[in-house]
Amino acid sequence: MDLLYTPKHGFVSDSHPRTNTGFFYFLFSAFLGGFIVFELFNINFSEFLNVTWSLFVAVGVLILIFSFLNLETAVLSLVFIVPITSFQLPGLPFVLTLGDAYLLVVTVAWLMRLMVKSGERIEKTPFDKPLLLFVFLSITSLINAHNMGSAATELVQTLEFFIASVYLFHSVIRTTEDFENAMLALALSGILFSMYGIREYMILGSDTRVRATFGHFNAFGAYLAMLVPLFFNMSLSEHRRGRRVVFIAAMALAVAAVMFTFSRGAWIGILSGLLLASWLRGMNQFIKYLTVGVIVIITISVFIPKQLEKFTGRMASITAIDDKSTQSRLEQYEMSLEIMMSSPVFGTGIGQVWDYASARGTPSQGEIHNLFLQIGADRGIPAMFALFFVFLFYYRAITQRITQSRSSFFKNMYIANVSVLVSFLVVNLTAYQLVRGLGVLLGLFLGLGSAIMRIESRLLDSGLLEEDLEYEDQLSREPALLAGARDRI
């Protein structure tokens, strides 16, 4: 496959771009307008969703048709739907969110295109082996599962996050224009959900920990923790004034919203992502000021926690070992080690940790607040290490590109991507956020990272990549690539 988009059907002209930014602005306006209408007329969204199945089927068919016409735009539009995790389709014996349904439809469209379009195939990523091994080990852990309903739910989500999302986004991102438009879509959707969270805080008052459309404030915090480092990097590397304003606005709103989640893990994750990006960019002065500012804030929080208690109290508790949530996490980690020692290969069985904790008499420990310890207890030590190697292979590949890339554009995109993943992992050191709304975003960034590496490889193979190649010049060269250029990741 080359980097030039040449539609094979008759509905889109050959000059039509692969991804349409105008449609993303339309979605932004539609969501914002819909929210205003719902507020003005006091419409309950959950009740609004309780409509006939025929309407959902009709909408699904329309999305499928749209996916056939422009799969790339349809897939990137997913970022506007996935964060809506608080609502599910009615009348089903299992949980199916709007994001789940949308992902299913565009995945079906993608698979159908793979079958009918010559030359289309599922391409390799730098972390295929550990990724597929992790999925396989997740399936084999069913051996120990007793509650098959919970097991099936977790397994389906694993396939959504690590197969459908990763390879779908890896497949549809074929040019730098696609990648940049994906960043724009993330910024516009981030503005919407940040505004929704800020509105929630303003209405419900200072005692509220906002969750927006997520089921939990820590989940909303993790979502924003992934986006803030992304918007920070894009606001620095974007040369077009309009888009830079969008990224700066998205970052400012996301920072405000994440403060109102009072999620300490999200705050630390954001700081980690920003520090890493600044270090990789050589922004030593910024690192100095940011570090001093954080130290001053934490110092104030520790010594006068009664002042501005809502904020400083949460910050001060970061260093408090006797904090209630800290003690709860330590107990969860102890239970995780207990499970892994008693059943090291398969754990409790996928989706069975909550049942184990309930039988143990500690149902409050049903979710272990650490990504790897939760996976180790849930699916076994081999699955835990397989997931660890997914991230290790990813970091190894992308750090090599950061140090070796001759293009400032690609280097900036690599830094943006890796800072997001670092922020996500830091959040997951004290939380388990491989959940609806966040798992798909994790798959998205893994897919985007491998896609941008593939694009640079093709430019290198073609001999068109020059040192410090800027975006506009690079984009004009992409159509000159020969069809069938070989991958080299």
Distance CA 302, CA 320 (A): 9
Examine the pLDDT at 480 and tell me if it is beyond 80: no
Q: pLDDT for 206-215, tens place per residue?
A: 677 888 888 8
Of 180, 196, 6, the residue nearest 76 (C-alpha): 180
- For 46-57, what is the mean pLDDT? 64
Question: In 3D, which of 401, 417, 416 has the Cα closest to residue 456?
Answer: 401
Q: Is residue 328 part of a domain?
A: yes
In a 10 Å sphere around its CB, with 0-12 CB exposed, 13-18 middle and 19+ buried, how is residue 482 labelled? Answer: exposed
- Look at residue 466 in the predicted model and tell me its pLDDT: 57
Residue 13, domain member (yes or no): no
Taking only the tens place, the pLDDT of each residue in 266-315 is: 999 999 999 999 999 999 899 989 888 888 877 776 665 544 556 555 55
Residue 294 lies in a domain: yes
In terms of Cα–Cα distance, which of 103, 75, 248 is closest to 161?
103
30 part of a folded domain: no
More confident residue, 246 or 122: 246
Tell whether 316 is covered by a domain.
yes
How many distinct structural domains can be found in the chain?
1
pTM for this model (two decimals): 0.86
* 22 within domain boundaries: no
Average the pLDDT over 463-484 and give the result: 47
Boundaries of domain holding 142: 123-480
Asked if 266 contacts 218 with a C-beta cutoff of 8 angstroms, the reply is yes
Residue 11 pLDDT exceeds 70: no
Q: How far apart are CA 443 and CA 485, in angstroms?
A: 26
Local structure of residue 161 (DSSP, 8 states): I
Q: Whole-angstrom Cα distance, residue 324 to residue 342?
A: 27
Give the chain's mean pLDDT.
83
- Domain-embedded: residue 87: no
Amino acid (one-letter) located at 320: A
For residue 23, being part of any structural domain is answered with: no
Sign of CA dihedral 262, 263, 264, 270: negative
47 falls in which pLDDT band (50, 70, 90)? Answer: low
**At residue 481, does pLDDT exceed 50?**
no
pLDDT-based confidence at 175, cuts 50/70/90?
Answer: confident
Sign of the CA dihedral running 138, 142, 145, 147: positive
Q: Is the pLDDT of residue 141 over 90?
A: yes
For the stretch 354-370, pLDDT in tens is 888 888 877 777 789 99
